[in-house]
Amino acid sequence: MTRILLFTGKGGVGKTTVAAATGLRCGAAGARTLVLSTDPAHSLSDVLDTPLDSEPLAVARNVWAEQLDTTQRFEEAWGEVQAYLMRVMDWSGLDGIEAEELSIIPGLDEIFSLSDIKRYASSGSWDLVVVDCAPTAETIRLLSLPDVLSWYMDRVFPLGRRVTKLVRPLVSAVSSLPVAGDDVFRATQQFYDRLDGVRALLTDPDHASVRLVVNPERLVIAEARRTATYLSLFGYRVDAVIANRLLPSEVTDPWFKAWKEAHAEHLAAIEDGFAPVPVLRAALAPGELVGVADLLDFAEEIYGDLDAAAVLHRDEPMTVESVDGAYLLRLAMPFAERDELEVARSGDELQVRVGPYRRSLILPDALARRSVGGAQLTERGLEVSFCNDGATSGEGAP
């Protein structure tokens, strides 16, 4: 199966450069590699010094690159739904331009990105897909979409379709309001089907990993810590952290003394905080890294003797174990704080919120039949205990 590497980090940390360098190194080692940019900034073509478009273009031996064209994907996947939304907005009195703009739902470009990753990984044409993701906030939203859309399609979509069929004759008799037909619901289902299997693909520990790119700066590290927490919430595995733009040891000018001391302090914080995840290092380059030759040298500095496509660290974001006749569900929550964490039970779902992100976990049968005994945040993560009493409880709190 195709290996997938997703690179993300705060804007400006060198994420695109690291992703491109990794792809080129893997291609040079013989892997058929596609480097795919989902970042709207589209810096990938600048780093590779090659114009790119919405189809894979050969940029080096065994390496192809692409920048997603969201307009093209939009027309392919959203056309029928958009046409219906525009009819509704036209009925409400909006003019054509306003209706067209409002019919484009924010976040669609991210959905198209996910569907492209799935399509390429399933094609059999690539050994490795390297994804240059958008900055961290957009990446978290991107990777949370499969959970959110799955919840909607399982619970709301079937009900909405049934209700629409019931009210369509009545609405048509008393109003000219356009009512969605089967073609709209069919298009919506097809739109969702583009994402079917994406979550399983990207959370497969043998085939997909996230790599965080950081600089030795306090704000960058803080954002990377939050990102690690949110990624773990949704079941994604971080297998490496790349500490980029470290001051090289050759710099000895006293003017840089305080800067080097700060870098050393921040690097120690990165290595201690993210352990046992490996932290790879790259020094601040003396100039811009542009083109295949520069990027291959940069990749050698990052990975050394390592196989850049290998799984560099394994963990398990969620485990269930039996403890004294009860069950304990543990979610890895690196860097989570108690005051930003909420846990609630609703039927056969466990709802977990960390900061602004919420995930609904469908409980396995062994836990769905039991009530929540309690929840606590420990060094090992969020631990939720389930009592062996055959009942279900409404809530639990850490």
For 343-358, write each residue's pLDDT tens digit.
888 777 788 888 887 8
pLDDT at 29 over 90: yes
C-alpha separations of 262 from 104, 246, 256, 281 in Å: 45, 10, 10, 16
Amino acid at 306: L
Banded pLDDT at 396 (limits 50, 70, 90)? very low
Residue intervals of the chain classified under CATH 3.40.50.300 are 1-314
Q: Which CATH architecture has domain 318-386?
A: Sandwich (2.60)
User: Would you call 69 helix, strand, or coil by DSSP?
Assistant: coil
What CA–CA distance (Å, rounded) separates 54 from 68? 5
pLDDT at 195 over 80: no
pLDDT at 94 over 60: no
pLDDT at 373 over 60: yes
Compute the Cα dihedral for 226, 231, 233, 239 and give only its sign.
negative
Banded pLDDT at 385 (limits 50, 70, 90)? confident
Contact 149, 195 (CB under 8 A): yes
Amino acid at 100: E
The pLDDT of 372-384, averaged and rounded, is 85
Is domain 1-314 annotated with CATH 3.40.50.300?
A: yes
Give percent above pLDDT 90 in the chain: 27
Which pair of tokens denotes residue 61? 């031996």
Burial class (CB in 10 A: 0-12, 13-18, 19+), 121: buried
C-alpha separations of 313 from 17, 119, 123, 153, 204 in Å: 22, 26, 26, 34, 13
The pTM is what? 0.75
> What average pLDDT does the structure give for the chain?
77
For 116-169, write each residue's pLDDT tens digit.
888 888 888 999 999 998 775 665 665 566 555 555 445 444 434 443 443 344
Residue intervals of the chain classified under CATH 2.60.40.790 are 318-386
Higher pLDDT, 379 or 207: 207
